[in-house]
């Protein structure tokens, strides 16, 4: 049995899942082209303070719903996180071990240098400064 899109008309209080279900029902009944027109028109009527998350609805429907600056930034952030997550998912186990080991060694080295600078005595600091001055003179 097909869902009638008119039975599930979403509004500003509807969740992302309800909007996505509405999209799927529209596509099933009217086809993708007509569904897209109807969906975008309904989405525009929901107002600016709707409960649905724009990124989730765009991901679930494959439509671009808004070009507002805030929503574009939100979408870019979501895409960046998805890209980084996809990068780690495609890495082989050996590559992940090498990657994480490299990060660990870098943290230890940088941490060691920071601790050495913080705990350096005044006399040692003078020697380092003098050596650096001679090197750059």
Residues 10-47: tens digit of each pLDDT: 888 888 888 888 888 888 888 888 888 888 888 877 76
What pLDDT is attached to residue 108?
93
Token pair 């979501």 in the structure block, residue = 78
State the CB neighbour count (10 A cutoff) for residue 77.
11
Q: What is the mean pLDDT of the chain?
A: 77
What pLDDT is attached to residue 81?
63
Confidence of residue 59 (pLDDT cuts 50, 70, 90): confident
Q: What angle do CA 118, 122, 128 make, to 5 degrees?
A: 80
Is residue 18 within 8 A of residue 45, CB to CB? The reply is no
At residue 92, does pLDDT exceed 80?
Answer: no
At residue 77, does pLDDT exceed 50?
Answer: yes
Cα–Cα separations (whole angstroms), residue 16 to 22, 57, 81: 10, 6, 20
DSSP reduced 3-state for 11? coil
| Packing angle of the helix pair 69-90, 54-61 (nearest 10 deg) | 60
């Amino acid at each position: 049995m097909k869902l009638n899109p008119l039975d599930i008309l979403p509004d500003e209080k509807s969740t992302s899942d309800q909007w996505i279900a509405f999209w799927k029902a529209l596509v099933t009944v009217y086809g993708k082209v007509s569904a897209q027109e109807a969906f975008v028109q309904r989405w525009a009527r929901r107002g600016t303070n709707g409960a649905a998350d724009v990124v989730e609805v765009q991901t679930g429907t494959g439509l671009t719903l808004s070009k507002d600056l805030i929503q574009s930034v939100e979408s870019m952030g979501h895409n960046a996180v998805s890209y980084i997550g996809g990068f780690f998912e495609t890495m082989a186990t050996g590559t992940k071990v090498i990657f994480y080991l490299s990060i660990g060694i870098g943290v230890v080295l940088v941490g060691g240098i920071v601790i050495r600078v913080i705990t350096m005595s005044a006399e040692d600091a003078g020697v380092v400064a003098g050596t650096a001055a001679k090197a750059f003179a």
